[in-house]
Structure 1
Amino acid sequence: MTCIASVFKALCLSLLFIAAVASRPTNRPKVFNVQRYGAKANGKTDNTKAFTNIWKSACTRKGGNSKIYVPKGTFYLGGIEFVGPCTNQIEFVIDGTLLAPSNPRDIKNDTWIQFRYINNLIISGAGTLDGQGKESWPLNDCHKNPNCPKLAMTMGFAFVNNSRINGITSLNSKMGHFNFFSVHHFNITDVTITAPGDSPNTDGLKFGFCSNINISKTHIGTGDDCIAILSGTTNMDISNVNCGPGHGISVGSLGKNKEEKDVNGLTVRDIVFNGTSDGIRIKTWESSASKILVSNFVYENIQMINVGNPINIDQKYCPHPPCEKKSK
């Protein structure tokens, strides 16, 4: 009887343990597969409305995190904004291709895909952002044509904090690939950025008024700066990045506009520049409209292969001569 009682007690304890485990919340996010919510992967149907509705549902969901999933396939997407704040963490997993309009006039905003006012955003996956920039590049002549069309950057982040991008590819942007403004505590890893070396103004990663940015294990080959670091950016760490083709890793240009802020705290290490016009680059306008300080920079373990200007500090930056000197 003692043996039977012991076995029964052990069985009851086991059942209680299983019941307790089963009653615990799993914390698994709710998955919003875009195809199940009306998006079409035929490369033709404009999925802007479907993606907008999916974002609203995922962003406002209460009681758990949300995951928006883009499966394999080609999803045509017009200009779109994903705006917070959200009530939970959002993970945006892209395994398929997001396809931009080939006609630049079909995107009314200055960014094709824009994220604003969001915390704890994760963008990941093995998919591609195809900007279809080939039709736009010949129109990039605003320095001589005041009626030039507005060309959109591929993906932008404004007022986005404690977030990250991992694994995706950006292909053939119309202008820059990724733009960051007032973004803080952001990680970028295993990202691939590709456009022809002669595609104008297709910067890879562009930052302004950002802080605590980490970029690693990333390949950037494009027609302008691989990474552009602009006014007000502080505490940035760049490591294990391959850059080429392109114009190198650039600070600036700085000083063209009033109200620009200092750039402080940049570490660039374990970098390979291959076939770039420049490597390490700092560029400022000759007659600055603002007085700013560039300080606390560290460059180490840099490899240069077929680089035109390995170190370029240009204090008379003038992309389209002649540049008139401003009167003081």
Structure 2
Amino acid sequence: MASITFAFKALCVSLLFIVVASRPTGRPKVFNVQRHGSKPDGKTDNANAFTSVWSRACRRESGRSKIYVPKGTFYLGGVEFVGPCKNPIEFVIDGTLLAPANPSDIKQDTWINFRYINNLSISGSGTLDGQGKQSWPLNDCHKNPNCPKLAMTMGFAFVNNSNIKDITSLNSKMGHFNFFSVHHFNITGVTITAPGDSPNTDGIKMGSCSNIHISNTNIGTGDDCIAILSGTTNLDISNVKCGPGHGISVGSLGKNKDEKDVKDLTVRDIVFNGTSDGIRIKTWESSASKILVSNFMYENIQMIDVGKPINIDQKYCPHPPCEHEKKGESHVQIQDLKLKNIYGTSKNKVAVNLQCSKSFPCKNVELIDINIKNNGLEDGSSTAVCENVDGSVRGKMVPQHCLN
């Protein structure tokens, strides 16, 4: 009997060993771009070498793949990384990816583009250097119909269940990060930097996206720190420092006929420092679409010398003359908007501007504990302006509210 028991135990141990040995190891297959032909000399175009490495990592069928960019400066022309891939991919960037200084040397809308990929992770201590300084004077499309098309730094389209963390994006030619039809994506620990006078260098821009989480991120740009466009839902933004820049903006909305609703936005624990705007919703006054903007929560937000701390602008028209008199008011409906514990200083006397549409007034706007003082050149206390807005007020209110 003892020998049978011993034999059974030995068989179990053997089977366990076979099962453990047959499992795929937890470590990914590493593809070091430098060992696959890339040169960190800051001048050799490594685009083909990078896409070759991507192709090998993407089509590998067993286990995870890891593409590694070591320290050094890797010059890249325009490059696209396209899926679907057969396994999850880590893209670790510890070096600098350097864009062409001449904008015409990038032959696509986005310098580094990821498309049709699931389970992508981008991380590292590295930098995406867009070398935008030469491009910024060319960004004059509102007055020059022949303006050149400038590339955004990094784009994600049809990418799901993915994340980016700890990367630095420096001096983009246009926007830094662009998201289109991206779902379940986390952005954390990212640093985004461009001068305050660099035009259209939005930090993070997204449209037709859902379930995006942005946290612990520092953004300083010449345009919106975060721009939220048509069709974006279930967005959570927390612990973000914004400045310089134009704040966290919803819109502009309503310009095009096929736009979709924007809803379920939470913005909390934010610092706006020296920005032109803080909380901003902008819709075109002569809008082409009827859409709904709803269920927004802004909470625990500090304003430090912000131009327009709270700004709903439903007469948005950046380059007059505008067509409001011909086409009428905005048809974008804003409703169920809560602003709680918003405090700090305004550079202008009007600290709260709620300029809603006459045709579609703002509904159910809640103001709770607002304390924004005038720190600008105009004397006197801060003020609020309300047009076509219905809502309620609780707690401390500086400036004095103007809601119905």
TM-score over 0.5 (shorter chain): yes
Q: Does 1:321 align with 2:320?
A: yes
CA offsets per residue over residues 5-42 of structure 1, 9 Å max, x none?
xxxx9999988866764443213211110001100000
Partner of 1:205: 204
Cα distance in structure 2, aligned partners of 1:23 and 1:167 = 35
Task: Report the 3-state secondary structure (helix = DSSP H, G, I; strand = E; otherwise coil) of the residue aligned with 1:315.
Answer: strand
Cα distance in structure 1, aligned partners of 2:321 and 2:171 = 30
Partner of 2:311: 312
Partner of 1:128: 127
CA offsets per residue over residues 141-192 of structure 1, 9 Å max, x none?
0111111111000000011011000110000000000000000000000000
Aligned-partner residue type, residue 321 of structure 1: P
Partner of 2:89: 90
Task: Report the 3-state secondary structure (helix = DSSP H, G, I; strand = E; otherwise coil) of the residue aligned with 1:58.
Answer: helix
Cα distance in structure 2, aligned partners of 1:300 and 1:258 = 32
Cα distance in structure 2, aligned partners of 1:62 and 1:23 = 16
* Pairing of 1:209-220 with structure 2 (within 5 A): 209-220=208-219
Task: Report the 3-state secondary structure (helix = DSSP H, G, I; strand = E; otherwise coil) of the residue aligned with 2:306.
Answer: coil
Cα distance in structure 2, aligned partners of 1:116 and 1:18 = 41
Percent same amino acid among aligned pairs? 82
Task: Report the 3-state secondary structure (helix = DSSP H, G, I; strand = E; otherwise coil) of the residue aligned with 1:51.
Answer: helix
Does 59-68 or 99-108 show the bigger shift?
A: 59-68
Cα distance in structure 2, aligned partners of 1:164 and 1:38 = 27
* Pairing of 1:233-312 with structure 2 (within 5 A): 233-312=232-311
- Give the TM-score of the pair, scaled to structure 2: 0.77
Cα distance in structure 2, aligned partners of 1:143 and 1:317 = 15
Which protein has the larger Cα radius of gyration, Structure 1 or Structure 2? 2
CA offsets per residue over residues 48-89 of structure 1, 9 Å max, x none?
110111111111111121111000000000001111111111
Aligned-partner residue type, residue 261 of structure 1: K
Cα distance in structure 2, aligned partners of 1:95 and 1:35 = 12
Cα distance in structure 2, aligned partners of 1:55 and 1:20 = 31
Cα distance in structure 2, aligned partners of 1:48 and 1:25 = 31
Cα distance in structure 1, aligned partners of 2:311 and 2:327 = 26
Cα distance in structure 2, aligned partners of 1:134 and 1:232 = 32
Cα distance in structure 1, aligned partners of 2:11 and 2:314 = 78
Aligned-partner residue type, residue 327 of structure 1: K
- Structure 2 vs 1, CA of residues 209 and 10 (structure 1 numbering), >3 Å: closer, same or farther? closer
Give unmatched runs, 5+ long, in structure 2.
Answer: 3-7, 329-404
Cα distance in structure 2, aligned partners of 1:24 and 1:119 = 23
How many positions carry a matched residue from both structures?
324
Aligned-residue Cα RMSD (Å) equals: 2.0
Higher relative contact order (CA 8 A, sep 6+): 1
Does the Cα contact within 8 Å between 2:286 and 2:323 map onto a contact in 1?
no
Cα distance in structure 2, aligned partners of 1:247 and 1:288 = 22
- Write 1 or 2 for the structure with the bigger share of strand: 2
Task: Report the 3-state secondary structure (helix = DSSP H, G, I; strand = E; otherwise coil) of the residue aligned with 2:141.
Answer: coil
- Structure 2 vs 1, CA of residues 161 and 12 (structure 1 numbering), >3 Å: closer, same or farther? closer
Aligned-partner residue type, residue 115 of structure 1: F
Does the Cα contact within 8 Å between 2:245 and 2:275 map onto a contact in 1?
yes
- Give the TM-score of the pair, scaled to structure 1: 0.94
Partner of 2:137: 138
Deviation at 1:213, TM superposition (A): 0.5
Does the Cα contact within 8 Å between 2:256 and 2:289 map onto a contact in 1?
yes
Cα distance in structure 2, aligned partners of 1:313 and 1:183 = 27
Deviation at 1:323, TM superposition (A): 2.2
Partner of 2:353: none
Q: Does 1:115 align with 2:114?
A: yes
Partner of 2:344: none
Partner of 1:186: 185
Partner of 1:164: 163
Aligned-partner residue type, residue 201 of structure 1: N
Cα distance in structure 1, aligned partners of 2:41 and 2:146 = 34
Cα distance in structure 2, aligned partners of 1:39 and 1:31 = 15
Partner of 1:195: 194
